[in-house]
Amino acid sequence: MKLSTQHLLGIKNLTREDISLILSTAQDFKDVLQRPVKKVPSLRDITIVNLFFENSTRTRMSFELAERRLSADVLNFTASASSVAKGETLLDTVNNILSMKVDMVVMRHSASGAPHFLAKHIPAAIVNAGDGINEHPTQALLDAFSMKEKTGRLEGLKVAIIGDIMHSRVALSNIYLLTKMGVEVTVAGPPTLIPKYLTDALDVRVEYNVKKALQWCDVANVLRIQLERQSQPLFSSLREYSLAYGINRRMLESLNKEIVIMHPGPINRGVELDSDVADGPSSIILNQVENGVAVRMAALYLLANREN
């Protein structure tokens, strides 16, 4: 099987078959990563540029490690240290890089739709590593992989996405993927952080009581509050948010059931999650980080071999 798309711009554009193919291929690569020799020659002679216009730690390192594990040649680009700071346009920047015979672009940008714009103007395959408040497809794929690995299934699973839904590209990509794979999805958080259109447009439940959302779900994917994307205050204070919507051990113990705790990172400890929950036995947060390398290896490999 091959992917139905030349680029990985978002989950919205993927078929259920594409998602299943990436997840099954990721399992093969995770098996490879358990070996003493973790490197394979799958992308030898392929050159990939990591084009990051936003700060990133986990995502950038995960992509770079995935690329090097596949034996690709890797270029790293940082906007603050480039000609972009001198006024060069995005398209000029990318075309200059492509003139160096780059085969694939991994891109993160603060503007929603930036990877889609590039895909219309350049021949290289593009992987969206996060665009504004639109999508973050590889995060959703690694979240799904981690859920399936932990619970043994996706179909019929109940997942609550809790936190700043309005400003989260992770939330949107997760909703697209999980609903395509037969998962029941509830979003939970303050009314000011949940868009009004979600129920009708994306076939998800909305819950404003976090305790009820946790009681309902099998998996809770908890998101951080993205203060940097809020143009005006949407709740009184972080302390108030923590008291009303933060998840602590006492809350989990009151559920009388076991649930899985996830978080895409970075965690604001003491706000959306207490440390004893983030580091506790219900958490698979570090598994998500580990699985990110295998999932990104799978996506890069499948895109590079789509025409072969």
- Known binding-site residue numbers for carbamoyl phosphate: 58-59, 108, 136, 139, 265-266
DSSP letter for 181, please.
Answer: T
Q: How far does the chain reach from its first CA to its final CA, in angstroms?
A: 11
**Residue 296 three-state SS:** helix
The binding site for L-aspartate comprises 86, 169, 224
What are residue 109's phi and psi, to 5 degrees?
-150, 150
CA dist list (Å): 43 to 7, 46, 51, 266? 16, 5, 19, 30
> Which residue numbers belong to the known binding site?
58-59, 86, 108, 136, 139, 169, 224, 265-266
Q: Tell me the residue type at 31.
A: D
Which run of H or E residues covers position 129? Answer: strand 125-131
CB 187 within 8 A of CB 254: no
C-beta neighbour count of 212 within 10 angstroms: 13
